[in-house]
A and B are shown apart, each in its own frame.
Chain A
């Protein structure tokens, strides 16, 4: 069984741009994930997520966790690539915050 691929796009109400070109955090060990945030002109005003995960059937949870964080922080103008190895929602949220921090924070 191949990896599950998920794609989401969110448009925050108050969009904020990332300070640096890119940010990266995390190691894909069991129960953890890796997040790569890259700025791109094609994503103006929105945050595009591309997820590769080993877990099946949690599409709604992903959408809720990521959607809320994007809305709260205003993360936009970026493509976010995630490699996941069964991380819990709390870990996902924390890593995404760290990834934004690693990319210099939001303007």
Chain B
């Protein structure tokens, strides 16, 4: 199987397949896939239901290197069953976190401490609608396994979330994405719990109009998330940009990386509740009101302007310790 690393670097992250993202995010020629297509480990449930299967079950996992760091890569493929977590691909995902922790512990046992320039890290490229409904319980179990593993990685192994593919990170994967230490996105990144159509279906069109794409993007899109602090870095849409940012983060100390965290401590819960309080008190009914609250102008132009300009003018929610 051939994969041209040089070509991948300039390729749009948004338009790349899960495998291309996985190969391109680490140093040239270093990526080794676990349970790849040749292992033919696909979902037995989909076969019974008469649904199409894929040899990698819609996820590419493996290990590569960035400088001296072992990088454990998880890359989801949104074009296959909505990138959703099932029994096989969910287990692949959860076990990558576990292997990363094992790697960390083995290094610690052997060398006493894990040197900063060799610390392992996890990079996850999200492209998923959540849990695969065809195998719902198995998918949910995988999701909770991921959450448990993530908890154990905290303050040991940096966990970098990337959203920048067609589906974003929704449903159960929205959780997992936000639980990462650092969240990276391009302009196509999206993070949410419930998707637009489901909100409209459940609460009504007055609450959320799923046909209004501008509304969807300014509510769940990367730029709004960047202003509100849920996305830490907004990047240009090439694999190279993402690789370079991951490389930069890899060289940061663990404590500096942990400062980016969005969840997982009483202080952060307080911060998030503060945001809820503001939204309730100001009767916010559109993200634009929040952007204005944090000092932004030209609210209608913010989602439209070129990214460079946006990064210059956008004013963000101040975050503790950053």
- A residues engaging B (CB < 8 A)? 1-3, 20, 22-24, 27-29, 32, 34, 36, 38, 52-54, 81, 83-86, 102-104
- B2 in complex: contacting residue of A20, A29, A84, CB < 8 Å: A20
Which of the four size classes fits the interface of chain B? 20 to 34
Between A and B, how many residue pairs show CB distances below 8 Å? 63
Q: A20-B2, A29-B79 are in contact. Are A54 and B47 (CB under 8 A)?
A: no
Does B53 count as interface, using CB distance less than 8 angstroms?
yes
- Whole-angstrom CA separation of A56 from B293 in the bound complex: 58
Q: Are A29 and B80 in contact (CB under 8 A)?
A: yes
> Main secondary structure on chain B at its contact with chain A?
loop
Selected A-B contacts with CB under 8 Å, 7 pairs: A22-B38, A27-B54, A28-B80, A29-B79, A52-B47, A83-B52, A85-B52
Q: A28-B54, A38-B38, A81-B55 are in contact. Are A23 and B79 (CB under 8 A)?
A: no
Q: Are B50 and A3 in contact (CB under 8 A)?
A: yes
- Whole-angstrom CA separation of A34 from B19 in the bound complex: 13
Q: Are B55 and A102 in contact (CB under 8 A)?
A: no
Does B48 count as interface, using CB distance less than 8 angstroms?
yes
- Whole-angstrom CA separation of A52 from B53 in the bound complex: 8
Q: A34-B55, A36-B37, A81-B55 are in contact. Are A54 and B50 (CB under 8 A)?
A: yes
B34 to chain A, nearest CB (A): 15
Q: Which of B1, B37, B38, B52 has the most CB of A within 10 A?
A: B52
